[in-house]
């Protein structure tokens, strides 16, 4: 019998897959505190992980642990060095986690470009004709605007298609993806990030958080952008330096930002971005659609079953 710990909530579609297996039992761990994880996790052969941080100290208590199946694709909440040294496998849900985030990025872009909730408020408050008298300088067409997509992986590639549907010009910065792959998708490869930053109307970060991407967009990079530029970060907090972003917005070096992810989650109450009117926010919710959460839960559970049944595809295992 394989004992599996489900760390954090999980859609019941995924849990149902365990019910069809006689040799798997599972337990849901809702208390994500370090003390509780240290106490509860040692009994498991494998865990699924949504929120919750698994550092080396917690992992060192888990003598039976053979695999972590991430409910998602980012794994900055796991000590990968420890996993590598102790031969623990890490699996990700890369089949189900790109459509909704790419749509969420479009939602944030459209939200900013089409006046946020301004028109909705006007109608509800009985100011139907107010918009006619406004000098609308903050609303724009997406047609022919230049978007720079930083990171051309699963989400970046989906985003290219969506932007082309809006007849935008798509620039892509990803040193690890060749020019032909990008041009076949309809984008244009940018080799020098600074050059791209100077000409973009919209920038969307679609990279993992690691030592190379931490603070990839800081004050210096923001200063290169046009004053009308908008920035969307639905990748990971920390890829964009939050204080620098807030400063750049306040100094009107760029015009708006859409932020789904934060350096610290949940963000502190005094995080300046929470009060900044030039930011549209969401609570790390780019995957929060019915379809995506169902598919992610099924993929997370299927991955761990496939791992123990020795039929996991090598592409699902992160190369540590
Ligand atoms: N907000 C959310 O809910 C949410 C949901 C899914 C994924 N994400 C985040 O989005 C990230 C991207 O997801 P994905 O599925 O597209 O990942 P992916 O691994 O398929 O793609 C990442 C791409 O980034 C590129 N890259 C890496 N370092 C780079 C650098 N320094 N400069 C430019 N490009 C670089 C890689 O070459 C790769 O093409 C994830 O790592 C995750 O952190 C967030």
Measured by CA distance, the residue closest to atom 3 of ligand 1 is 286
pLDDT digits (tens, 9 = 90+) for 9-63: 899 999 999 999 999 999 999 999 999 999 999 999 999 999 999 999 999 999 9
Per-residue DSSP letter, 317 = B
* Count: domains in the chain: 2
Strand order in the sheet with 230-233: 188-189, 169-173, 146-150, 202-205, 230-233, 256-259, 279-281
Report which ligand 1 atom has the smallest distance to the Cα of 152.
Answer: 39
Across the range 180-197, mean pLDDT stands at 98
Contact 66, 90 (CB under 8 A): no
C-alpha 175 – ligand 1 centre gap (Å): 13
- Pocket of ligand 1 contains residue 73 by CB under 6 Å: yes
Catalytic (active site) residue 71 = no
Say if residues 210 and 235 touch (Cβ distance below 8 Å): no
- Is the confidence at residue 127, as pLDDT, over 80? yes
Q: 277 and 242, same structural domain?
A: yes
Asked about 265 being catalytic, the answer comes back as yes
Do 263 and 177 sit in the same domain of this protein?
Answer: yes
Supply the CATH number for residue 274's domain. 3.40.50.720
Residues 89 and 235 in one domain: no
**Are 296 and 259 found together in one domain?**
no
CB of residue 284 inside a 6 A radius of ligand 1: yes
Alpha carbon nearest to ligand 1 atom 32, residue: 174
Please give the distance, rounded to the nearest whole angstrom, from the Cα atom of residue 272 to the centre of ligand 1: 26
DSSP code of residue 268: P
Same domain, 71 and 129: no
Residues 235 and 112 reside in one and the same domain: yes
Tell me which residue range forms the domain holding 17. Answer: 2-96+290-316
Residue-wise pLDDT tens digits, 178-187: 999 999 999 9
Rounded to an integer, the average pLDDT of 265-294 is 96
* Shared domain check, 126 and 263: yes
Which pLDDT belongs to residue 235?
Answer: 97
- What's the CA gap between 24 and 19, in Å, rounded? 8
Residue 75 CB–ligand 1 contact under 6 Å = no
Across the range 250-259, mean pLDDT stands at 98
User: Does residue 278 have an active-site annotation?
Assistant: no
Q: Is the CB of 98 under 6 A from ligand 1?
A: yes
**Is the domain of 132 the same as that of 32?**
no
| pLDDT confidence tier of residue 74, bands split at 50, 70 and 90 | confident
Q: What pTM does this model have? A: 0.92
User: Of the listed 71, 104, 154, 236, which one is catalytic?
Assistant: 236
Tell me what the mean pLDDT of segment 147-167 comes to. Answer: 98
Domain match, 153 and 240 both: yes
pLDDT at 279: 97
Looking at residue 116, its pLDDT comes to: 82
Pairing between β-strand 46-49 and β-strand 146-150 as defined by DSSP bridges: unpaired
Nearest to 101 by CA among 234, 279, 295: 234
> Reduced to 3 states, what is the DSSP secondary structure of residue 78?
strand
Do 14 and 34 lie in one domain? The reply is yes
pLDDT digits (tens, 9 = 90+) for 78-122: 999 999 999 999 999 988 989 999 999 999 999 999 988 889 999
Whether residue 122 is found in the same domain as residue 47: no
> What confidence category does residue 135 fall into, taking pLDDT thresholds of 50, 70 and 90?
confident
The verdict on the CB of residue 255 being under 6 Å from ligand 1 is no
Say whether both 124 and 264 belong to one domain. yes
138 has pLDDT over 90: no
The first and second tokens of residue 45, run together, are: 């052969």
Measure 57 CA to ligand 1 centroid, in angstroms: 27
């Amino acid at each position: 019998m394989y004992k599996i710990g489900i760390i954090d909530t999980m859609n019941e579609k995924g849990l149902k897959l365990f019910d069809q297996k006689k040799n798997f039992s599972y337990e849901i761990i809702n208390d994500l505190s370090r003390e509780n994880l240290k106490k509860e996790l040692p009994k498991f052969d494998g865990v699924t992980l949504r929120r919750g941080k698994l550092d080396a100290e917690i992992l060192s208590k888990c003598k039976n642990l053979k695999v972590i199946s991430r409910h998602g694709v980012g794994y900055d909440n796991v000590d990968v060095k420890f996993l590598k040294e102790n031969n623990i496998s890490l699996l990700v849900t890369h089949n189900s986690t790109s459509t909704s985030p790419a749509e969420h990025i479009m939602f944030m872009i459209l939200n900013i470009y089409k006046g946020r909730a301004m028109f909705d408020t006007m109608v509800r408050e009985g100011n139907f004709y107010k918009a006619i008298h406004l000098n609308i300088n903050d609303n724009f067409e997406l047609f022919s605007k230049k978007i720079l997509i930083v990171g051309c992986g699963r989400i970046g590639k989906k985003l290219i298609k969506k932007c082309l549907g809006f007849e935008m010009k798509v620039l892509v910065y990803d040193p690890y993806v060749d020019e032909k792959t990008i041009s076949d998708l309809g984008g244009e490869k940018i080799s020098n990030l600074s050059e791209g930053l100077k000409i973009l109307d919209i920038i969307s970060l679609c990279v993992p958080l690691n030592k190379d991407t931490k603070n990839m967009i800081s004050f210096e990079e923001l200063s290169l952008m046009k004053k009308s530029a908008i920035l969307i970060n639905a990748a990971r907090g920390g890829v964009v330096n939050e204080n620098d972003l807030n400063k750049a917005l306040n100094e009107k070096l760029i015009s708006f930002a859409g932020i789904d992810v934060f350096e610290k989650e949940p963000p502190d109450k005094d995080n300046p971005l929470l009060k900044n009117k030039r930011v549209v926010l969401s609570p790390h919710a780019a995957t929060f659609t019915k379809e995506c959460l169902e598919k992610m839960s099924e993929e997370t559970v299927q991955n761990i079953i496939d791992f123990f049944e020795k039929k996991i595809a090598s592409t699902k295992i992160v190369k540590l």
